[in-house]
Structure 1
Amino acid sequence: MIGTHNGTFHCDEALAVFLLRQTATYRDADLTRTRDPKLLDTCDIVVDVGAVYDPEKLRFDHHQREFDGVFGHGYITKLSSAGLIYKHYGKEIISNHLSLSPEDPKVETLWLKLYKEYIEAIDGVDNGVQQYPPEIPPKYRNGTGVSARVGWLNPAWNESVDSKSVDTRFEKASKLVGEEFLSRLEYYGNAWLPARELVQNGLDARSSVSPSGHIILFEHFCPWKEHLFDLEKELSVPEDQKPIYVVYPDETAGNWRIQAVPMSPDSFVSRKPLPEPWRGVRDDALSQVSGIPGGIFVHASGFIGGNQTQAGALEMARQALTM
């Protein structure tokens, strides 16, 4: 039996209950929603109520004055019941859902990724942790996040409902936030993580593309920016050996792209933009000014360009390094 509080529900305990139901122990567990201590004492595990955080006793509340638990690994946002359950059971859930060994290093990578991309925001919203200093007013209101969507499933203040109907709404909220979690997990496990492996391979093989190691070649397109910066940090790649250009096939047109590596994953400033004489030039004019056949375009800012062939895109990268 899983226990949590009754009345108005929130995203954190809705997700916590869903996550517990993804474990072998609580997969078929019933749910009791109450604040009665005697009833909670009959539950096998209790989340978001009871004023106790004690993993050995299977009590996971975060509302007590002295509670200051965080996820760790560089994250400092105070945990909600969602973060608490994820911290203790997340690896089991990931390994079960993706059929991975618990010792597989991919489980640790995905555990950290899911906290960063999904769980931490739920912790922050539930605990009232602001994303930015309060003196900076937001330019617009965003009520579309999953915490807000769960909140809208509660009955209106002037709506007549009984506890059974609210419990039914809670189950709907738990399914909503939980299925979104699983969707993220499947994407990161089946798409994001394989891209990381391709970037790792390209980073390892870059000296065979260019002796300087400043050019990475991908035989298949993949989202590479986040992975490249993470791997550079993990591998302590020296500044003078970091990639400057990435060459990869266009996703749809069958052509090839050359892209300048930005200063950071979200930056519009490149480590070394493509040469100024090429910028804003297209097709035959680009081939003439660069001396490289098959030119398609170079963006006016110099962050990206295109060529009809892999050999042409690689030659653009090699020439750009020297200009």
Structure 2
Amino acid sequence: MSAHTPIGLENATTIVRALTHSGNFHVDETLGYVILHYALAPQGDLRGRVLGEAGADRLTFERTRAPERIAAADIVFDVGGVHEPAKGRYDHHMKDKPLRADGTPYSAAGLLWKDYGHAAIRNILQTQADENTVSSIWETLDRALILPVDQDDNGVVKMGKLSLADIVSACSPAWDTAELYGVAEAQKRESLGFANAATAVERHLVNMVDRVRASLKAESRVVAAYEAAEDKRILVMDTGMPTEKVIFARDLPVVYVVSPASPDRWNVKAVPPTRGEFGQRVSLPEAWRGLDGKALAEVSGVPDAVFAHPARFICGAASREGALKMARLALQIDEAEKAAAT
């Protein structure tokens, strides 16, 4: 959180004039604009402001390098040569760049995220959230989205092909647009490109906020399910949700996760030895490999067994009870095989 009250947050009704540079655009100023949109005027027209088609709106937005326009704006980002957040100046191109605690240079998006990120998250969320939740979402997105944008924009680490940075760049008109169609048409296409990029970034940011919110919700449910488990190696979830992050973050000894895949299917999924990697802490039985239906039911002894993947990392049954039985049997078979091998 900033030590000052960012411009526009002290009063929810005052008109705020935001400005960034014209010409080639990148992910940092595009994301910066989206952050301001949600922090200050989420009901406004994101595209319309860029294209000069917006109606009444407390946030106005301009893309120019004209010094007199920069001086007149309330919030200026990624241009102007000044870093004074208390005065609404968020450039990062000066010799003495604003730096994160770890020495990574900030981009314009990173600077705006510091001041306006919490407000943007509150307006994006469709449900009530306390300040701890908002802060947790802010910190997660700062690591997962904002920091990579800072690194990419400052030439530290490229985000790579098909990244958000690449998607934004692809919205720019081709280099010879003015040569082919004239300066006026090139400027029109540049504005349209920025509007398209802002729309794509806006969807990405909104989706990330919602996914992090849901992840925090999942954490409490996974912990509760683990504490209630009879066998701590089998985690039974009554609703499908991400569990792996919590299992590894809390170093839980879970081997299998049992959860519904559809109204008539419950799956048993093996936990990998390392988060995000292939492999299993305990593979499903070799005898089940690649079987389904009646053949699997006969071999496993579970009447409603449905399938067992050839890679031995997931299997399923038609009921919760059937899936839970498969998980228990898999552990028993593994223990017997280990005992026989010693």
Judge same fold: TM > 0.5, yes or no: yes
1:249-264 matched pairs, under 5 angstroms = 249-251=260-262, 254-264=264-274
Q: Distance in 1 between matches of 2:132 and 2:275?
A: 24
The alpha carbon displacement at 1:247 in A equals: 0.5
Q: Distance in 2 between matches of 1:111 and 1:103?
A: 12
Instruction: Decide whether the 8 Å contact of 1:82 with 1:119 is kept in 2.
Output: yes
Residue aligned with 1:247, SS:
strand
- 1:135 is matched with which residue? none
- 1:65 is matched with which residue? 95
Instruction: Decide whether the 8 Å contact of 1:100 with 1:107 is kept in 2.
Output: no
Equivalent position to 1:6, from 4, 14, 22 = 22
- 2:183 is matched with which residue? 161
| Residue 205 in structure 1 maps to residue 246 in structure 2 | no
The alpha carbon displacement at 1:131 in A equals: 4.4
Q: 1:103 and 1:305, CA in 2 relative to 1: closer, same or farther beyond 3 A?
A: closer
The alpha carbon displacement at 1:143 in A equals: 8.4
1:65-144 matched pairs, under 5 angstroms = 65-70=95-100, 78-98=105-125, 103-131=130-158, 142=162
Instruction: Decide whether the 8 Å contact of 2:22 with 2:63 is kept in 1.
Output: yes
- 2:36 is matched with which residue? 20
User: Which AA in structure 2 matches 1:149?
Assistant: A
The alpha carbon displacement at 1:149 in A equals: 2.3
- 2:50 is matched with which residue? none
Residue aligned with 1:151, SS:
coil
Moved more, 2-11 or 258-267: 2-11
The alpha carbon displacement at 1:67 in A equals: 1.0
- 1:216 is matched with which residue? 235
The alignment's C-alpha RMSD in Å is: 3.2
Residue aligned with 1:30, SS:
strand
Gaps of 5+ in 2: 1-16, 43-56, 335-342
Q: Distance in 2 between matches of 1:25 and 1:297?
A: 51
Q: Distance in 2 between matches of 1:20 and 1:153?
A: 28
Equivalent position to 2:324, from 307, 311, 314 = 314
| Residue 176 in structure 1 maps to residue 203 in structure 2 | no
- 1:30 is matched with which residue? 60
Equivalent position to 2:172, from 113, 138, 151 = 151
Instruction: Decide whether the 8 Å contact of 1:52 with 1:62 is kept in 2.
Output: yes
- 1:275 is matched with which residue? 285
% identical aligned pairs: 29
Q: Distance in 1 between matches of 2:95 and 2:260?
A: 55
Instruction: Decide whether the 8 Å contact of 1:125 with 1:147 is kept in 2.
Output: no
Q: Distance in 2 between matches of 1:204 and 1:288?
A: 34
Instruction: Decide whether the 8 Å contact of 2:260 with 2:267 is kept in 1.
Output: yes
User: Which AA in structure 2 matches 1:245?
Assistant: Y
Q: 1:122 and 1:13, CA in 2 relative to 1: closer, same or farther beyond 3 A?
A: same
The alpha carbon displacement at 1:96 in A equals: 1.8
Equivalent position to 2:315, from 301, 305, 308 = 305
User: Which AA in structure 2 matches 1:179?
Assistant: T
